[in-house]
Amino acid sequence: MMLHRGVFFLAGLAACLLSGNAIAAAPEVVLDPTGDLQAAPHGGGNAYAPEIFIEDGVYRMWYGAQGRDGHDRILLAESPDSLVWEPKGVVVDHGDANHVNDPSVVKVGDTFFMYFTRAPVDIRDEIALVTSTDGRTWQ
């Protein structure tokens, strides 16, 4: 069984609409960006663009984060319940590329396909593709 972030968004939106409640409080933080690869140049933490995938009772979240060097990378975190996440580290990085971010993951058969944005220099993004058999090591 697999679910993608759109399902979580729609389920959350439906719950808000059906209950008649607006989101008044700040949402609960499930992943606090720490460490040099997620600290951003300002040092306060910077993580965004999550992609959620569930398979065999394990939630995986690939997400973008900006390191202290100002470059974006794609990281992975895993969870048994979608509430408590364990960071697993960087899974996609393109060396000196300015921007590697916005992961979108699908699985076909035994292969994961991750489409993401990449800007080798400056801010001119292009869409790139990597594949994986385990969701952690990408080619």
Residue 3 has pLDDT above 80, yes or no: no
Mean pLDDT, all residues of the chain? 82
Catalogue all structural domains in the chain, each as residue range(s) with its CATH number: 5-132 (2.120.10.10)
Rounded-to-10 torsion of CA 61, 64, 68, 71 = 150
Do 1 and 29 touch, CB atoms closer than 8 A?
Answer: no
φ, ψ at 41 (rounded to 5°): -60, -30
8 Å CB contact between 99 and 106 = no
Judged against a pLDDT cut of 60, whether residue 95 lies above it is answered with: yes
pLDDT in tens, 30-86: 776 777 777 787 877 788 899 999 999 999 999 999 888 888 999 999 999 999 999
CB pairs under 8 A, 24+ apart, for 100-104? 100/64, 100/71, 100/72, 100/73, 100/74, 101/48, 101/49, 101/64, 101/72, 101/73, 101/74, 102/49, 102/64, 103/49, 103/51, 103/62, 103/63, 103/64, 103/74, 104/51
Residue with the larger pLDDT of the pair 28 and 5: 28
Average pLDDT over residues 88-94: 91
> pLDDT at position 17, please?
43
- Please report the pLDDT score of residue 5 as a whole number: 45
Contact 92, 100 (CB under 8 A): yes
In the chain, what percentage of residues exceed pLDDT 90? 50
